[in-house]
Chain A
């Protein structure tokens, strides 16, 4: 069974940093792109970042560009999101999602349960 389990969320002060992790199982991790998608409280879904199967291509939403960094460790079937200079509007439920192909311009079709990040003083 395909599983994605996020971890690393929590409460952080504005300007602080946090590193999210996503542990994958049940599929051949290094054949697929991976993504982070978030949902602020009471709002809709927003794509945050994506990474190709071999890490050669990475993309970011304008709202996080220069502050967030996506990476992956294929040997350990893990996806990461390094979040720096956090702002209150980064507060959201962050989902890890599996792509449907090697590149991140293809849709994502399996999601984790999400992890909450709260940025507040």
Chain B
């Protein structure tokens, strides 16, 4: 059971928009920045979003992040087949003194 809660899967058609939620608690998402990673099969995970809503250099602006209270979300617009991947949220947990992850969300582009 992951500390952060994500939906196991989401799906949407090409060129549409999808959001992936990440729910935590005050000790992690509520007090600390949420990070998002994209994990393509057979590849190393890739940083997608940091400090809740900041895009690393080289990441498409089709990706956006937001946070309110103890919940965060990742939005992907203009869906492409190449976006099919597993997406993970993560945050530092002040109570556990650990990094915690969500269980991951598998994105399918229909």
State the A residues within 8 Å of B (CB): 35, 37, 44-47, 50, 59, 61-62, 95, 100, 105, 107-114
Cα-based distance from A110 to B44 in the complex (angstroms)? 9
The 10 closest A-B pairs by CB, nearest first: A47-B99, A44-B104, A111-B44, A109-B47, A107-B35, A44-B103, A45-B101, A105-B92, A111-B45, A113-B44
Contacting pair A95 B100 (CB below 8 A): no
Other-chain contact of B45, A45, A46, A59, A61 (Cβ < 8 Å): A45
Closest residue of chain B to A110 (Cβ to Cβ) is B47
Other-chain contact of B104, A45, A113, A114 (Cβ < 8 Å): A45
Contacting pair A44 B102 (CB below 8 A): yes
* Interface core residue of A61, A100, A107 (most chain B CB under 10 Å): A107
Cα-based distance from A63 to B35 in the complex (angstroms)? 22
